[in-house]
Structure 1
Amino acid sequence: MDEKDDEQLDTGDQLYPPPPAYNPQPENDRNASVPNVRVPQVSESVAREALLKFVGSKWSKSSKPARNLTFKELQPITMYRYRLETYTESRSSAWEMEPFTGQVVDGPQYGMSPPPWDVPVQQPQRYIDVILKVRVPHSSFVKTCHRCHGCGRTRCTHCAGRGNRRCPFCHGHGRRTTGHGRNNRAGNNRCSSCQGRGRKRCTFCHGHGHKTCPTCQGNRILMHFIQLTITWKNHVFEFVPDRLPEFPLKKFEKVSGDAFFVDESILVYPIVGFPDQEICDASRKASQEHHSKFSPQQVPCRILQQRQTIELVPITHAFYSYSGKDYDYFVYGLENKVFTPKYPSACVIL
């Protein structure tokens, strides 16, 4: 294959057009509404146990304050987390090649190659990122290897095909200065590494001057085909209202909540009528953002499914006293994780 043929094959994602016209609409002509929920309560025993577990994982903290503290107030806080997931599928294609070893060649003689979006594949489980590479039917053909021109081997680039290289010890002279000889005179002896020849056998080609062609692996023929890359990706928009300046929102990323509202469809409606207006605003923003970002006019992909959820993430602000001083900490998530801005120290007599 000459350079011109290579340029014709290396068309990358230009081989196939974008996905066919696909403009899904929400299935129901209504906006999503959600019910009211109750804020869960955390008892003193649960709050104390969570703190004991937290300090137990910190070697620098003593469990004595957690055991002996006196609770002053347990304040439950309503905290919602909104999430919109948009599951998309995109397809791209490129020419690939492999050594031909006698395998079946599914070429144009069996029919025309289908467009990318007509190639049948098994859909993976929704909302899981997957990349699948498949060969486009009827796109294969065989041709002489363009790198070795059908020889099955290429010239060794380390020795330029000579089979030997200049000796690195004597630099090709065949003799080496070995220090001081008799009567403190420098000795100029025959190089023991190359036996005075000045050149050594090339270790890369073992003296042959050529190597097996790395492209066709010595088979002399290549099979070319169009490879279709299908990417399923879950794009997530997440929002938690920032109402606790003393509590870092990143802590919510590692805990789960109670998903009391789940709405799933090809396209979902923005949420309206929820008591927390910030959640409604976030839902509207997420829907507009994803519909615009993943439209076929913007990127060669299509939306397969959307899912929006509202979780109630339990969080309790615990106020307590120890040794005459006031402290506080947070118990959050269904896992009852703990975040404490400041923890009292305890004198431990060893």
Structure 2
Amino acid sequence: MDEKDDDMEAFDPGIPEEGPSAPPPGWLDSVTGYEDNKEGDQIYPPPPAYVPLPENDKNASVPSVMVPTVSEDVAREALLQFVGKKWAYSSKPARNLVFKDLKPYTVYRYRLETFTESRSSAWEFEPHTGQYIDGPHNGVSPPPWEVQVQYPPKYTDVVQKVRVPHSSFIKTCHKCHGNGKVRCTHCHGRGQTRCTFCHGTGHSRNKRCISCSGRGKKRCTRCHGHGHQICPTCRGHRNLMHFIQLTVTWKNQVFEFIPDRLPEFPVKKFEKVSGNSFFVDENNLVYPIVGFPDQDICDASKTANHEHLNKYSSVSRILQQRQTIELVPLTHAFYSYNGKDYDYFVYGTENKVYTPKYPSACSIL
């Protein structure tokens, strides 16, 4: 018997080839309220309607605040901490410098946080191993925005996946057609593969191949010679439980603004430090700030409120908003060392340091 006949003899026509990776069109039942869902598609239902915030002249109650300052001792210690983390910087100038001036600045940071919830649904499936089936016989599935979920703390980013009640049902596995196993794609169901050492000839260097004992074939390493494998989709259980999975995403959308009025100091440095919060306004929807002494903060508040409402209300539900104003410490320190003038900045409640130049071998930050 030649190789072809031998292969055909090992071939088992009773083992089906793999079916499609996803259920074919028309395979799934229709669930009321989720008719647009197709296997593999993520559907985003529009959020419930919201009541627009009316225009008004509500004034923000902003208390008086003192511009924070730092002493020479604090400024020196901040610089020592900074140069201590820079291997190329010597601490000697920081210890021996002579201060000429410490100039504090009033820096406000405005922040708007919009806590949103969005929902999407998609068909999912899992092997049916005898677990309970919550199907249409238990009632009609609730619409996406009426499915009960456990809400997380406000202003946190959380993703929760929930099985839609009464959306489950059983179907024969579309991958193996209910057989529980599929033909091995590596050996095409024959249980053997061509020997790679002798390329199927049975001989190598005019001697019988020791890898395949001269047969030219070897047992398939994928199916161990069986010609078939357990179905990877149903894991041999033959049936699948299909259900609609709801994905609920809570996200804290954040807008921050600090007026950039000091060219010598990079405003991005403020992103990693904190300030002293002296104004907090929180509600389902907040009003833009008006009447604050810094008009740029008022303009930023108006712009942010408008953008967040337009951007997020159409694709998600706005659960809560919070706007704050912080006073971020910033002091410009001028000093001399060895007859030359230098300067640096101390910023944030953490007393971080930014220096464009320092009297050392490595002078550029």
TM-score if structure 1 supplies the norm length?
A: 0.91
Deviation per residue, 1:202-254 (Å, 9 max, x gap): 00100001000000000001000000000000111111111111111111111
- Would you say 1:315 and 2:344 are equivalent positions? no
1:334 aligns with 2:355: no
Which secondary structure does the structure 1 equivalent of 2:26 belong to?
Answer: helix
Instruction: Supply the distance in 2 between the matched residues of 1:17 and 1:258 (Cα, whole angstroms).
Output: 40
1:162 to 173, 190, 203: 190
Matched residues in 1 for 2:152 and 2:60: separation? 27
Partners of 2:200 and 2:296 lie apart in 1 by 79
The more displaced of 286-295 and 29-38 is 29-38
On the 8 A contact 1:261/1:309 being kept in 2, the answer is: yes
Which stretches in structure 2 are left out of the alignment for 5+ residues? 1-21, 29-36
Query: Cα offset for 1:20?
Result: 2.4
1:94 counterpart (107, 122, 136): 122
Change (3 A) 1:257 1:55: same
Structure 2 Cα separation of the partners of residues 29 and 276 of structure 1: 17
1:275 is matched with 293
- Following the alignment from structure 1 to structure 2, what is the Cα–Cα distance between the partners of residues 9 and 289? 33
Contact 1:33 1:271 in 2 (8 A): no
**Alpha carbons of structure 1 residues 151 and 87: separation in structure 2 relative to 1, 3 Å:** same
Q: Does the aligned pair in 2 maintain the 1:331–1:338 contact within 8 Å?
A: yes
Aligned: 1:132 with 2:153: no
Report the counterpart of residue 7 of structure 2 in structure 1. Answer: none
**Residues 245-301 of structure 1: per-residue CA shift (max 9 Å, x gap):** 1111111111000010111011111111111111111111101110110123xx2x1
* Contact preservation (8 Å) 1:24, 1:266: no
Residue type of the alignment partner of 2:340? K
Structure 1: gaps of 5 or more residues: 178-187
CA distance in 2, matches of 1:11, 1:205: 29
Q: Structure 2 CA distance, aligned partners of 1:26 and 1:307?
A: 18
What is the TM-score normalised by the length of structure 2?
Answer: 0.88
Structure 1 residues 304, 2: CA separation in 2 closer, same or farther (over 3 Å shift)? closer
- Which SS does the other structure have where 1:223 is aligned? strand
Is the CA contact (8 Å cut-off) linking 1:26 and 1:265 kept in structure 2? no
Instruction: Please say if residues 25 and 266 of structure 1, whose CA atoms lie closer than 8 Å, have aligned partners that are also in contact.
Output: no
Residue of 213, 222, 238 corresponding to 2:256: 238
Say which SS state the counterpart of residue 5 (structure 1) adopts.
Answer: coil
In structure 2, give the amino acid aligned to 1:317.
H
Distance 2:343 2:148 in 1: 58
1:29 deviates by 7.4
Return the letter of the residue paired with 1:193. Answer: S
1:247 aligns with 2:265: yes
**Equivalent residue, structure 2, for 1:261:** 279
In 1, the alpha carbon distance for the partners of 2:279 and 2:335 equals 34
- Counterpart residue number, 2:39: 10
Paired residues of 2:23 and 2:39 also in contact (CA < 8 A): no
CA–CA separation in structure 1 for the residues paired with 2:52 and 2:225 = 65
In 1, distance between residues paired with 2:48 and 2:102? 57
Offset, 1:30: 2.3
Q: CA RMSD in A?
A: 1.8
Q: Matches of residues 111-122 of structure 1 in structure 2 within 5 Å?
A: 111-122=139-150
Residues 45 and 119, structure 2, Cα contact 8 Å, conserved in 1: no
Q: Determine whether 1:208 maps to 2:223.
A: no
1:293 and 2:308 matched: no
Q: Secondary structure of the residue that 1:122 maps to in structure 2?
A: coil
Cα distance, 1:26–1:84 mapped onto 2, change above 3 Å = farther
Residue in structure 1 matched with residue 6 of structure 2 by the alignment? none
Distance in 2 of aligned mates of 1:333 and 1:124: 30
1:304-349 CA-partner distances (Å, limit 9, x unpaired): 0011111100000000011111000000000000111111128xxx
Contact 1:27/1:267 (CA < 8 Å) preserved in 2?
no
Identity of aligned residues (%): 73
Equivalents in 2 of 1:58, 1:34: separation in Å?
40
Match of 2:108 in 1: 80
Aligned equivalents of 1:71, 1:39: Cα separation in 2: 20
Between Structure 1 and Structure 2, how many residues are aligned? 332
Q: How far apart, CA to CA, are the structure 1 residues paired with 2:296 and 2:220?
A: 72
